[in-house]
Amino acid sequence: MDGQIALEGFSAVSAQATLVAAVLVDIDLPHLDRPFDYSVPDSLAGEVEFGRIVRVTLAGKRRFGWVVEVKSASSLTTLAPIERVVSHTPVFTPRLFEAVRRIARRNLSTLSQTLSVAIPARHATTEKDVLASQDLPAFSYRAPDPKPWHSIAAGASLLEHIAAGQAPRAVWTALGPNRDARIVELVAAAAHAKRSVLLLVPTSAQACTMTALLTQSLNAELCLIDSESTPAQRYRVHLEAMRGAVRIVVGTRSAVWTPLHNLGLILVWDDGDDRLRQQRVPRCDALDVAVTRSHIEDCALVVGAYSRSVKAQRLVETGWAVSLVENVDARRQLSPIVRVMDDIDTEAQGPAGSMRISPWALKTIREGLTAGPVLVQVGASGYVPVVSCDRCRAIAHCPHCLGPVSKTADMHFVCTWCSRPMTDWRCPKCSGTQLRHARVGSERTAEEIARAMPTASVLSSSSTHTITRKITADPQVVIATAGAEPEASGAYAALVILDARAIAGRAELWAPEEAMRRWFNALALVRPGAPALIASSLETSMAQALIRFDPADYAQRLLDERAALGYFPAKTLIAIDGPGPDVAAVAQAAQAELIGTIPIDSKGEQTLKVRALVRCDHADFTQVSARIWSVMQHRSSKRLPPLRLTVNPPELF
């Protein structure tokens, strides 16, 4: 704390105090992003300890903070005292704080911002109840069974290492029929070694399904943390995990910070799903935190999915994790038969081949209905979610709020943001007044299929309609958007994927990866050997990955492309958002490669805002980030307008 200056509001206390506490004050200002020394009054000497929440005075204002160190001396001559100890127990461990510190440094955020994400809000009544319960439950779990992992060469070895309390790291590409059994054995291996398990999934529905699966298979009590959990429930699990009263936690994004005692395994499922990404600063995702905690706590990490994300493939390429994929025979036996239409197939169907629902798609649906339910995955929900000018094909936007215009089921054009009717819409580019369908949604698709198959039962499952979680094995056609596909009893008898180019053909760098993730998630719901038709032509490498059921190879291709272009995860990019002159000054101070500067939406503000992208090698990131953070601290101390920093912006990669 050399050089710390006394701020207004600090009272003069003798430096001869017995104890000194370093307190990280809950204030999101870069120039105050460091612990401050406070004296510990004799009345609080037995209560102040690492991880406790305290109340202090900083710059004349009372604020809350966290104790990050207790020592016997300070370099300052006068210290303000700690006013009150708020929490009756520590709310984080030294290992969790180290993970917070690394994530904050890596994402150019303050420690208090990251701690606010990592630690649930304090609930006093819950805290008293947890502390009053002194007895810890006894846990007993069966030994793992290696049989479900027999078709992967390193599968049995992975279980052995986890059961022995070691820390292997693996990236696992799963198949639908054996996924659940393998997850159960992974959890059983860590629990049998008397170590804790943290299982992360993207959605609350998946978390509930995983909780039911593990409870039934292991006959164990689990804790669930999802979007439906109350603040009291979140805080209870947080405290009970720290004291060892909880051994297995299943949850969504925020559960990755759970400070489990003797953590042995972190299992992240479907890491490429953007719902595992934190939208608040520090904007990290669950995989970032899981990798960091695996380093610090020496625990096993398994990253599983039906597809393979570029970030996960990077872990394999660097040798940090081992790739686990099925052998060829297992893929042939357990996967559906995928067919991707190309231009030759389209021509073979005649004029109808260019239709959105082609004759081959209808044939696949009809044949599938003879054996059970059929899934039709579409690219968007709603009736006609996107419309365009009939003359120049420009996407239509509302003249009032610039929101997208859509067509409802009652044949009216409205703005999806402000709900204004588009009765007198005029194209700002060509002055056209007629609108046409640019993208058809799930409701319109259900209508079209119902007309084509009058005797078939048609069900629509999407966010704008109703999301159905499970269906029976009765023959029916299910029209669903990605992520809203119901689970069919006995799996689906056929699959048709429409609008395949709606995502894969987008300009964003993440588009091919996201398209493969959605398609392989849908393919996992189909019976082995059943037909699956991609009713759009795709680039050759993508089509071959689907036909061969090899998403890992395609992920490596995407990673090689990014390495050639110098993009994440091959290199580190930092986005700097704010007023033009300020952004330019920070970008220059970074002393890194400036890719470019573009204007961004200022959302009604008078000051024009821009985004600058700077790029550096991973080895240089520590120095580049330190220079940027130094500028941010200087700006904060001078009360200059804040700038927004984002490391490897998820909207780009």
Enumerate the domain spans of the chain: 1-87, 147-330, 336-384+440-548, 572-647
Residue 263 to residue 298: CA distance in whole angstroms? 8
224 and 204 Cβ atoms separated by less than 8 Å: no
Q: 491: which residues sit within 8 A by CB, 6+ positions away? A: 176, 372, 525, 526, 527, 530
Query: Considering all CA atoms of the chain, what is the largest pairwise distance in Å, rounded to the nearest integer?
Result: 92
Residue 295 in 3-state DSSP?
helix
Give the pLDDT score at 1: 39
Residue 358 in 3-state DSSP?
coil
DSSP at 395: B
CATH number of 147-330: 3.40.50.300
149 and 141 Cβ atoms separated by less than 8 Å: no
Q: How far is CA 512 from the centre of its chain?
A: 17
Residue 302 to residue 401: CA distance in whole angstroms? 45
Residue 18 to residue 143: CA distance in whole angstroms? 51
* Tokens of residue 95, six digits: 């290992």
Are β-strands 435-439 and 386-389 bridged in parallel, bridged antiparallel, or unpaired?
antiparallel
The yes-or-no answer to whether 336-384+440-548 and 572-647 have a common fold is no
Q: H or E segment at 442?
A: helix 442-452
Residue 254 to residue 251: CA distance in whole angstroms? 7
Could you tell me which CATH class the domain 336-384+440-548 is placed in?
Answer: alpha beta
Per-state percent for the chain, helix, strand, coil, to nearest 5: 35, 25, 40
Q: How far is CA 125 from the centre of its chain?
A: 31
The residues with which 25 forms a beta bridge, in sequence order, are: 65
* Tokens of residue 487, six digits: 């689970």
159 and 149 Cβ atoms separated by less than 8 Å: yes
Residue 43 to residue 48: CA distance in whole angstroms? 10
Give the pLDDT score at 603: 58
Which of 171, 226, 233 shows the shortest CA–CA distance to 203? 226
* Tokens of residue 143, six digits: 């030994």
Give the pLDDT score at 607: 64
Place of tokens 């994790």: 321
Helices (H), 65-123: 94-106, 111-118
163 and 192 Cβ atoms separated by less than 8 Å: yes
Residue 239 to residue 202: CA distance in whole angstroms? 23
Place of tokens 């991707």: 340
265 and 197 Cβ atoms separated by less than 8 Å: yes
The CATH fold of domain 1-87: GIY-YIG endonuclease (3.40.1440)
CA 308 vs CA 57, 125, 326, 339: distances in Å: 49, 43, 13, 20
586 and 643 Cβ atoms separated by less than 8 Å: yes
Which amino acid is present at 159? L
**Around Cβ 22, how many Cβ atoms within 10 Å?**
19
**Around Cβ 264, how many Cβ atoms within 10 Å?**
26
Helix axes 540-547, 551-565, angle to 10 degrees: 150
Residue 76 to residue 558: CA distance in whole angstroms? 54
Q: What's the pLDDT tens digit per position in 362-412?
A: 999 999 999 999 999 998 888 888 888 888 888 888 888 888 888 888 788
Residue 439 in 3-state DSSP?
strand
502 and 380 Cβ atoms separated by less than 8 Å: yes
22 and 14 Cβ atoms separated by less than 8 Å: no
Residue 258 to residue 235: CA distance in whole angstroms? 10
**Around Cβ 85, how many Cβ atoms within 10 Å?**
19
φ/ψ of 571, rounded to 5, equals -135, 170
Could you tell me which CATH class the domain 572-647 is placed in?
Answer: alpha beta
Residue 428 to residue 434: CA distance in whole angstroms? 12
Give every residue of the chain whose pLDDT is below 70, as ranges. 1-17, 602-607
